[in-house]
A and B are shown apart, each in its own frame.
Chain A
Amino acid sequence: MSAQSLVDQLKGGLDAPICLTWELTYACNLQCVHCLSSSGRRDPHELTTAEAKRVLDELRDLQVFYINLGGGEPMVRGDFFELVEYSVTNGIGVKFSTNGAFIDADKARRLAAMDYIDIQISIDGLDAATNDAVRGSGSYAMARRAMHNLAAAGFGPFKISVVVTRHNVGQLDGFKALADSYGAQLRITRLRPSGRGADTWHDLHPTNIQQRQIYEWLLHKGETVLTGDSFFHLNALGEPLPGLNMCGAGRVVCLIDPIGDVYACPFVIHDQFRAGSVRDEGGFAQVWRHSELFHELREPQSAGACASCGSYDSCQGGCMAAKFFTGLPLDGPDPECVAGEADAMLGAVHVELTPRPSLDHSHRHPHSHPGRRPLSVSTR
């Protein structure tokens, strides 16, 4: 069976996801300007421990091998370790993304003693100035401390996760060296205009010249670097990058948000891509297998405006979420189309008409809305 027909089969969807992201809470100690889930404050309707365990029971029965936990900051949840242990005991490996704030020496040792745990520490700059401009004051030191603690506890090869922006493209070699210095693995992913990223993408996303730089770097130095296959839109530049060249949304990938809503992928927390809730009758499996939205996404997709472009087979039209939140048609070019097909279209989009993320849990800044009286000045 050829590789192409495997991709075709995956496009038709599987009985259970391969890669499932579960944002455990909207609460976060940070307020990154590109946060995909606009996190900050906990949502009062977040899944309880018992509900979360029921979801894990379901995922075990579906033979989901591992889950990617995130947030918000997942370690903020008081039942974080309880859920992780429950998951692993049930044969579901856990990879979680954290800003590292809560990985002190004790927690690092506790994590190092557990099997089937993977940790991704987020960092978006090689120095405090570059990183903190995006992730907030003190976040660079926080991440480095966590890395140090994990290494000192003998955790083994954790992951260092970088969102590539206009300001850190030049630091890719440095990030690789940083990961090597800890015996860690580097993971770089694409900046998406999702969540709070909708407001910052235009200023932060790599320029056209930088996109080629990312592509060349991955091609020549990226052999041991993870990408979550997130740069497949760059394949139109030439030789394809390793990985599955396809959008997995609703086909092999999905997102469960903190209140149990199921979305097509981690980058589309918007009503239009909400497939259902794990709280609905039939639970997660019912949503995954029978939601109308997921069935639509598993149908062959039209190449639309890209049909006449010779590169469509290479880039597959790029990322659905990136198009959606920049106001481009879903069957048109990716906003970062390397052939420049989106440039004129982006210029014609009225920014105020682009879709807004459906949920916003950002911390309230009482002083930023002078006309509005804050409900609470608490940051929790």
Chain B
Amino acid sequence: MRRVLTLSLLDAPLELDPQVALRPEPFGALAYHYGNRRLVFMKHHDVVVVAEQLASHPSLSAALRACAIAESRWPAFAKAFAALTESEIVRERPVTG
């Protein structure tokens, strides 16, 4: 069951919430959501790179592939992005056209 959820997030078109700003830090980045005022520590550089690329790819997995993240690490990234979605830093891209 967990596998199904994970797969669906990997297939989802994601983006950084437009109300979010990222500040690069030695440990990764600080993400701040101006709307809900949540401050989130992004504790891994690779997660930051992928987050910045999300909007230019049709799905999370496409963004991971484009950023040359090994497939063995995808479950960990799916988990990280599930948490970021939970805190509204990342959101599912609204369907257009």
Interface residues of A (CB under 8 A from B): 1, 5-6, 9, 12, 14-16, 18, 63, 65-66, 91, 93, 115-116, 118
Interface of chain B: mostly helix, strand, loop or mixed: strand
B27 nearest in chain A by CB position = A9
Size of the B side of the interface (Cβ < 8 Å), in residues, is 14
Q: Is A6 within 8 A of B43, CB to CB? A: yes
Interface residues of B (CB under 8 A from A): 21, 23, 25-28, 30, 32, 34, 37, 39, 41, 43-44
Roughly how many angstroms separate A5 CA and B43 CA in the complex, as a whole number? 10
Which residue, B28, B32, B44, has most C-beta atoms of chain A within 10 A? B32
Residues of B within 8 A of A91 (CB): 21, 34
Our pick among B23, B34, B41 for the contact of A93 (Cβ within 8 Å) is B34
Our pick among B26, B30, B43 for the contact of A18 (Cβ within 8 Å) is B30
Q: Which 10 A-B pairs have the closest CB atoms?
A: A65-B32, A63-B23, A9-B27, A1-B43, A116-B34, A6-B43, A6-B27, A93-B34, A9-B26, A14-B25
Q: Is A16 within 8 A of B43, CB to CB? A: no
Q: Is B43 within 8 A of A118, CB to CB? A: no
Q: Is B44 within 8 A of A1, CB to CB? A: yes
A10 nearest in chain B by CB position = B27
Residues of A within 8 A of B41 (CB): 6
Our pick among A9, A12, A118 for the contact of B37 (Cβ within 8 Å) is A118
Q: Is B25 within 8 A of A15, CB to CB? A: yes
Roughly how many angstroms separate A93 CA and B36 CA in the complex, as a whole number? 11
A65 nearest in chain B by CB position = B32
Roughly how many angstroms separate A93 CA and B30 CA in the complex, as a whole number? 15
Residues of A within 8 A of B26 (CB): 9, 12, 14
Residues of A within 8 A of B39 (CB): 18, 65
Residues of A within 8 A of B37 (CB): 66, 93, 118
Q: Is A16 within 8 A of B23, CB to CB? A: yes
B73 to chain A, nearest CB (A): 14
B22 nearest in chain A by CB position = A63
A14 nearest in chain B by CB position = B25
B25 nearest in chain A by CB position = A14
Residues of A within 8 A of B34 (CB): 65, 91, 93, 115-116
